[in-house]
Structure 1
Amino acid sequence: MHDDSLLYQAAELYFVQDMTMGAVADRFGVSRSTVSRMLTEAKNRGIVRISLRPPEHPPDRLSRRFHEMFGVTAHIAGTHRASHNGPRLEAVSRYAANLLTEWVEDGSILGVAWGTTTSTIAAHLGQTSAQDVTVVQLNGAAGPRTTGAGTSTPLLSSMARAFNAELYPFPTPAFFDLEETRTLLWKESSVRRILAVRSAVDLAMFSVGAFHGPVLSQVYTEGHLSQAALRSLNENRVVGDMCTVFIREDGSYSDIDVNRRASGPTPSDLARIPRRLCVVSGRHKVRGILGALRSGAVTDLVIDDLTAKDVLDHVDSHGPTVPV
């Protein structure tokens, strides 16, 4: 165990002055393996923070195809060829965290939809120097069996801390029992205040919830939907959700009954936001990803390379559009 000042000196020599590990070892009179352990310790203690600045316009072939097909900027996170869902999620989450650190600036209003992916992104955020930032919750999280606090509060708190932001939680159900209840609540002054902040968002971050597969969206696992609602989603050929609004593979959503009781912004609402970052991974989300892209709700897509290929293969094998 080394003290912080010694770890800082070693890191400064190696990372800033670009000295070799051997040169740093000679300076301190220790072995190179000791210097390696010191640098690792400095990272673990937060003395060293490494950030990557992704390119604004990724040039690779996969990104070009996504832009040609859907008009989005695709940021492709590299993974090992045999990676399963966990490593894929980690790869896209780290990539998205670096993008957010680059994009969130003084005065930004960041809208965040709760979920497994966005919570993993929050865990990868380090402290920034941004000022006067606002973080607002895009969709409610409460349900019949949960208050939603365990899902949304840690995520939002991490986001707010990272960007020194004022936080606006959205303490409403993820889905209302009655459409009329939502209509009345939306008229309350306290709710209108949050909705006004939500309508001023300049950067939104969300994922696509999976209806089936090994990593299901929390929308489906936390009891937010009745069996009757789930049957209705199947009958309506729903393939996933964004911000608790359900979508089909062709991007349509407006005639799906459950959406009239949802708390989150629709794809049309999202489309009014200047930059909309969708972060996704996993083969089980391919059809949901296509629905999100075809809905017009996405400007920037962070996706791992394996899932990106799966999406394009699906389009190639099923055609560019899906009949309504």
Structure 2
Amino acid sequence: MNEWEKDRLAVKVASMYYADNLTQDEISRKLGIHRTTISRLIKTARQEGLITIAIRDDLKPYYALENKLETLFGLKEVYIVSSQRVQEDSERQALGKTCAELLARIVQDGDTIGISWGSTMKEVANALKPSPNQRPTQSQIVALCGGPGNLESDNHVNPIVGKVSQAFKAKPYYFYAPIITSKRETKEAILQDDSCVTVTNLWHKVRIAVVGIGAFSESSSVLSTGYITLQDQEALRQAGAAGDICSRFYDLAGRRIQLDLADRTISVDLDILKGLNYSIAVAGGAHKVPAILGALRGRFVNVLITTEETARLLLETANETVEAAE
């Protein structure tokens, strides 16, 4: 975690303590940080002048944005990646590094961690650096979906699971199945395989899930794989698809789209994600705003990591759609 991120976290904790009147125990539960660390961060924020009567000017806009999104969508936590960090790295790399820092903070020995696929998830895995002093853990890293066969290998769920498991010295559980089958009967037969049963059973033990959010557009990863036929794409378009998580599609209001395609999809159910301690979405970009908004309204995730530009567009779009509905 760099100095700016340390300061940002200290400001967030101190603001929750002083401005929001939360106790240190409440902050600890909300952020997944030990109470002793909460106390230290509050002390640091005061001693280093990060907070006085007001939040330091360069950090205040980020906290305000995070707080607005958390309140509007009932989120556990929002992480706004600074414009400076996006300029230093690519957008996906900046998102990946921020997610890696969050995981390093909240993962506990024995956790079962679910991982999805995609280019942003690849950057999360790349940003996780194994510590030389890291001992083997009892944690498990499990794939949350099958994978398209023609997808660039680094973006495939199994290599990502492998890298994350190496970083935490945890046991990987790979998923050797396509994400979408041509027939429902094919899916049912695949899921009867013992190795698949092991993975799908672990989905119910996940404490932390990290997922990307796909936009429903011609340039989206899931559509470009060819696994979704033109007929399926048209059906999704007619149903008002806004985005997907693990190829589970939903509309702008967060309503799941239940077409024949859903019965042929091999991935975690969105209901499982809704019930987790941490369901972390990592996504940014103007083209993904409708998809992210639908995911937040459906409450499929409770933590969002995104960019400053995307956060502002989310708030604007949310207000516009509410006004249009009225």
**Shared fold (TM-score, shorter chain, > 0.5):** yes
Q: Which moved more, 1:254-263 or 1:107-116?
A: 254-263
Q: Deviations over 1:231-268 (max 9, x none)?
A: 11111111111011111111111423322211112221
Q: Deviations over 1:199-218 (max 9, x none)?
A: 111100001012227xx432
Relative distance call for 1:78 and 1:260 in structure 2 (3 A) is same
The corresponding residue for 2:109 is 106
* Aligned residue runs from structure 1 range 110-259, under 5 A: 110-128=113-131, 129=134, 131-143=137-149, 145=150, 151-212=156-217, 216-259=219-262
Q: Which moved more, 1:128-137 or 1:56-65?
A: 56-65
Q: Is the 8 A contact 1:141 1:147 kept in 2?
A: no
The question of 1:55 aligning with 2:58 is answered: no
Q: For residue 156 of structure 2, give the secondary structure of its aligned residue in structure 1.
A: helix
Q: Is the 8 A contact 1:141 1:149 kept in 2?
A: no
Partner Cα separation in structure 2 for residue 100 and residue 194 of structure 1: 21
The question of 1:78 aligning with 2:117 is answered: no
Letter in 2 for 1:318: T
Partner Cα separation in structure 1 for residue 263 and residue 322 of structure 2: 30
The corresponding residue for 1:93 is 96
Offset, 1:109: 0.9
The corresponding residue for 1:271 is 274
Q: Deviations over 1:155-182 (max 9, x none)?
A: 2221111010111011111101112322
The corresponding residue for 1:46 is none
Letter in 1 for 2:167: A
Partner Cα separation in structure 1 for residue 183 and residue 151 of structure 2: 18
| Structure 1 residue corresponding to 2:67, chosen from 61, 64, 69 | 64
Letter in 1 for 2:143: Q
Query: Unaligned 5+ residue runs, structure 2?
Result: 16-62
Letter in 2 for 1:236: A
Q: For residue 105 of structure 1, give the secondary structure of its aligned residue in structure 2.
A: coil
Relative distance call for 1:307 and 1:89 in structure 2 (3 A) is same
Q: For residue 55 of structure 1, give the secondary structure of its aligned residue in structure 2.
A: helix
Partner Cα separation in structure 2 for residue 150 and residue 299 of structure 1: 24
**RMSD of aligned alpha carbons:** 2.7
Offset, 1:301: 0.6
Relative distance call for 1:321 and 1:156 in structure 2 (3 A) is farther
Partner Cα separation in structure 1 for residue 154 and residue 305 of structure 2: 27
Partner Cα separation in structure 2 for residue 50 and residue 317 of structure 1: 36
Offset, 1:153: 3.3
Offset, 1:189: 2.8
Percent same amino acid among aligned pairs? 24
The TM-score normalised by the length of structure 2 is 0.75
Partner Cα separation in structure 2 for residue 195 and residue 119 of structure 1: 22
Q: Which moved more, 1:150-159 or 1:106-115?
A: 150-159
Offset, 1:275: 1.0
The question of 1:260 aligning with 2:263 is answered: yes
Offset, 1:183: 2.6
Offset, 1:190: 2.6
Number of residue pairs the alignment of both structures matches: 271
Letter in 2 for 1:316: N
Relative distance call for 1:254 and 1:222 in structure 2 (3 A) is closer
Q: For residue 83 of structure 2, give the secondary structure of its aligned residue in structure 1.
A: coil
Q: Which moved more, 1:57-66 or 1:161-170?
A: 57-66
Letter in 2 for 1:211: F
Query: Unaligned 5+ residue runs, structure 1?
Result: 1-48
Q: Give 1 or 2: higher helix fraction.
A: 2
* Aligned residue runs from structure 1 range 241-320, under 5 A: 241-319=244-322
Letter in 2 for 1:303: T
Q: Is the 8 A contact 1:74 1:300 kept in 2?
A: yes
Q: Deviations over 1:268-308 (max 9, x none)?
A: 12112221110110000000001111111111111111100
The corresponding residue for 1:5 is none
Report runs of 4+ in structure 1 exceeding 6 Å deviation.
Answer: 147-150, 320-323
Relative distance call for 1:65 and 1:192 in structure 2 (3 A) is same
